[in-house]
Amino acid sequence: MARYLRSTSGGRIFYFYFLLVLGLVSPAEAQSSGDPFFDLMLKQAIGAPTIGDLVAKAADDAIHGAVIKSTLTAEIGAARERFWRNYPNGPDLTAAKQDFDRLLFSKDEAYLMLFLPQGRPDPTISALQAITGGEIDGGIPQGAQPAYRAWVEDIRTRLGARPGEQLPLAAYVRLKDAVNASGPVYRDYLLRREQEEFRLRGMVPPSADPIVWKTITLFVETRPWEAKGGDYANLSHSASLGVDPYKQAQKLYVEIEDILGADHVREVARRVFGLSAKGKVPAPADYGGYTEPDLLQALGDHLGSGDAKRFLIGQLRKSVSVERQWDWRSAESYYKVLVKQGGEDTVLRIAEQMRIAPKTTQVQTIIADGIIYNLLAEPIPFGCRIPRVRYCMEEVLKRGN
Residue 168 gets which letter from DSSP? P
- Please indicate, yes or no, whether residues 63 and 91 belong to a single structural domain of this protein: yes
8 A C-beta contact, residue 13 and residue 6: no
Distance CA 59, CA 47 (A): 19
- Please indicate, yes or no, whether residues 142 and 19 belong to a single structural domain of this protein: yes
Angle at the Cα of 60 from the Cα atoms of 57 and 63, rounded to 5 degrees: 150
364 three-state secondary structure: strand
For residue 382, what pLDDT is reported?
65
Residue 291 reports pLDDT greater than 80: no
User: Domain range spanning residue 52?
Assistant: 2-198
Distance CA 62, CA 127 (A): 11
For range 208-213, the mean pLDDT = 92
Torsion of CA 133, 136, 141, 147, to 10 degrees: -120
| Helix ranges, 87-122 (H) | 93-115
Residue 310 reports pLDDT greater than 70: yes
- Please indicate, yes or no, whether residues 345 and 228 belong to a single structural domain of this protein: no
Distance CA 220, CA 199 (A): 10
Residue 296 reports pLDDT greater than 90: no
**Domain's final residue, options 254, 284, 303:** 303
pLDDT category at 399 given cuts 50, 70, 90 is confident
- Please indicate, yes or no, whether residues 183 and 273 belong to a single structural domain of this protein: no
- Please indicate, yes or no, whether residues 251 and 360 belong to a single structural domain of this protein: no
Residue 114, amino acid: L
- Please indicate, yes or no, whether residues 158 and 241 belong to a single structural domain of this protein: no
- Please indicate, yes or no, whether residues 217 and 319 belong to a single structural domain of this protein: no
For residue 184, what pLDDT is reported?
94
- Please indicate, yes or no, whether residues 341 and 258 belong to a single structural domain of this protein: no
8 A C-beta contact, residue 290 and residue 329: no
Proportion of the chain above pLDDT 70, given as a percent: 64
Least confident of 30-34, 152-156, 170-174, 276-280: 30-34
8 A C-beta contact, residue 284 and residue 274: no
**Domain's final residue, options 170, 198, 226:** 198
Residue 201 reports pLDDT greater than 80: yes
Q: Please count the structural domains in the chain.
A: 3
- Please indicate, yes or no, whether residues 325 and 294 belong to a single structural domain of this protein: no
- Please indicate, yes or no, whether residues 265 and 130 belong to a single structural domain of this protein: no
Highest mean pLDDT among 65-69, 81-85, 233-237, 378-382: 81-85
79: CB partners within 8 A, 6+ apart: 96, 99, 100, 103
**Domain's final residue, options 271, 303, 335:** 303
Residue 224 reports pLDDT greater than 70: yes
- Please indicate, yes or no, whether residues 298 and 311 belong to a single structural domain of this protein: no
For residue 127, what pLDDT is reported?
65
8 A C-beta contact, residue 364 and residue 375: yes
**Where is pLDDT greater, at 235 or 211?**
211
b (16+ CB within 10 A) / e for 258-290: ebbbeebbbebbbebbebeeebebeeeeebeeb
Q: 59-113, pLDDT tens digit by residue?
A: 455 555 567 788 899 999 999 999 999 999 999 999 999 999 999 999 998 888 8
- Please indicate, yes or no, whether residues 149 and 256 belong to a single structural domain of this protein: no
For residue 53, what pLDDT is reported?
47
132 three-state secondary structure: coil
Cis peptide before 380 (omega within 30 of 0): yes
